[in-house]
Amino acid sequence: MISQQQRSIEAQAAQIAHMQRILSSLVLDANMSTSAPIYLGSTSTSFGTMPLPPPLSPHFAHPPPTHQEDDSEETEDEDLGL
């Protein structure tokens, strides 16, 4: 009976030791990853998940080119002999 209890205790101790090794390796990994500078507020990784903005309404679209020469400009050029 004592041997069963001792085996159970040893098994629990082995499980605890195994879990401690796993946890310590995770802590080491976390410490190693923080050696690089961390820039708070960086959104470089969130842009991939952002939806595209809707297209601009016609009110905000660029106006079509409307360059029209004035008749007075042509007469001034003609008067100057150009």
Rounded Cα–Cα distance for residues 16 and 8 (Å): 12
Q: What tokens does 62 get?
A: 């660029």
pLDDT of res. 14: 93
Q: What is the rounded CA–CA span in Å between residue 63 and residue 29?
A: 56
Q: What is the pLDDT along the chain (82 residues), one digit of tens a residue?
A: 678 888 999 999 999 999 888 888 777 655 555 555 655 555 555 556 667 777 777 776 666 777 665 555 555 555 566 5
To which H or E segment does residue 33 belong?
A: helix 2-33
pLDDT at 12: 93
Tell me the C-alpha to C-alpha distance, in Å, between residue 51 and each of 5, 57, 58.
60, 18, 21
Q: How far apart are CA 32 and CA 21, in angstroms?
A: 16
